[in-house]
């Protein structure tokens, strides 16, 4: 955490008030905690292929159970409900996109990049640039995993493009609202 604060303070144009400094330290501590939670979730989260196979197996077992219920002469409403549940599970699996040989982007990295930007721009009207070894990349890397981890420049560039597109949509909406009013 001290390294993250040090990177942020390098960008300070003037010393912050004590309450703002305490707020920033708390914000950095909470951000690191949330990023660690994202990393733990990513490790524990099953892949789309695993989830799809699980739900398809459950749908198959429900269909088997429905045929057994029919043989045992249970009510038609119960049997119809079991078949509906199996069909719902199969529809759910249709929404899963299983991509081969393409790793999923890390949510924790994206979150670290976003939060690094936020921490660097919270107390001033200054925007960090996308440079190798720059403040934004160093802070995002520290937030993501300390000294050993690095977040590539491509993550920053991707985030910057997303932020520009969002800003363009915002200003287009503002201009259209102003022209209507």
Does one domain contain both 176 and 109?
yes
* Same domain, yes or no: 113 and 151: yes
* Cβ atoms of residues 113 and 155 within 8 Å: yes
Please name the residues in contact with 115: beta carbons below 8 A apart, sequence gap of 6 or more.
Answer: 31, 34, 35, 140, 143
Q: Tell me if 104 sits within 8 A of 50, measured CB to CB.
A: no
139 with 169, same domain?
yes
The verdict on 36 and 56 lying in the same domain is: no
How many folded domains does the chain comprise?
A: 2
| Statement to judge: residues 52 and 65 lie in one domain | yes
Does 67 lie in the same domain as 18?
A: no
pLDDT tens for residues 129-171? 777 777 778 888 888 886 656 777 677 777 777 777 777 787 8
| Per-residue burial over 70-98, b = 16 or more CB atoms within 10 Å of its CB, e = otherwise | eeeeeeeeebeebbebbeebbeebeeeee
Tokens 């991707």 belong to: 158
Domain assignment of residue 149, given as a range: 2-45+104-180
Question: Could you give the C-alpha distances from 100 to 47, 109, 180, in angstroms and in order?
Answer: 11, 21, 48
Are 123 and 161 in the same domain? yes
Lowest mean pLDDT among 63-67, 100-104, 107-111: 100-104
- Give me the percent of the chain exceeding a pLDDT of 90: 9
What pTM was computed for the model?
Answer: 0.57
Domain boundary among 94, 123, 158: 94
40 and 109 part of one domain: yes
> Residues 160, 166, 171, 176: is their CA dihedral positive or negative?
positive
- Shared-domain flag, residues 112 and 170: yes
Provide φ and ψ at 78, rounded to 5°.
Answer: -65, -45
Alpha-carbon distances of 8 from 36, 58, 119, 130, rounded to whole Å: 20, 50, 7, 16
Q: Look at residue 100 in the predicted model and tell me its pLDDT.
A: 76
In a domain, 99, yes or no: no
- Mean per-residue pLDDT for 98-122? 77
41 and 55 co-located in one domain: no
- The verdict on 110 and 176 lying in the same domain is yes
Q: Is residue 149 part of a domain?
A: yes
């Amino acid at each position: 955490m001290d390294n993250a604060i040090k990177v942020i303070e390098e960008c300070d144009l003037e010393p912050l008030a004590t309450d703002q400094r305490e707020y920033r330290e708390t914000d950095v501590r909470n951000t690191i905690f949330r990023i660690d939670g994202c990393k733990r979730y990513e490790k524990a989260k099953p892949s789309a292929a695993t989830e799809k196979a699980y739900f398809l197996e459950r749908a198959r077992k429900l269909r088997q159970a429905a045929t057994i219920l029919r043989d045992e002469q249970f009510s038609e409403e119960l049997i119809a409900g079991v078949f509906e549940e199996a069909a719902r599970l199969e529809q759910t699996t249709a929404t899963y996109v299983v991509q081969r040989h393409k790793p999923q982007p890390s949510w924790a990295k994206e979150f670290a990049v976003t939060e690094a930007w936020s921490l660097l721009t919270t107390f001033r009207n200054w925007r960090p640039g996308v440079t190798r070894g720059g403040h934004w990349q160093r802070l995002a890397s520290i937030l993501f995993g300390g000294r050993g981890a690095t977040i590539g420049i491509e993550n920053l560039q991707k985030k910057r493009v997303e932020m520009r597109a969002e800003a363009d949509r915002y200003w287009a909406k503002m201009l259209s609202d102003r022209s209507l009013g």
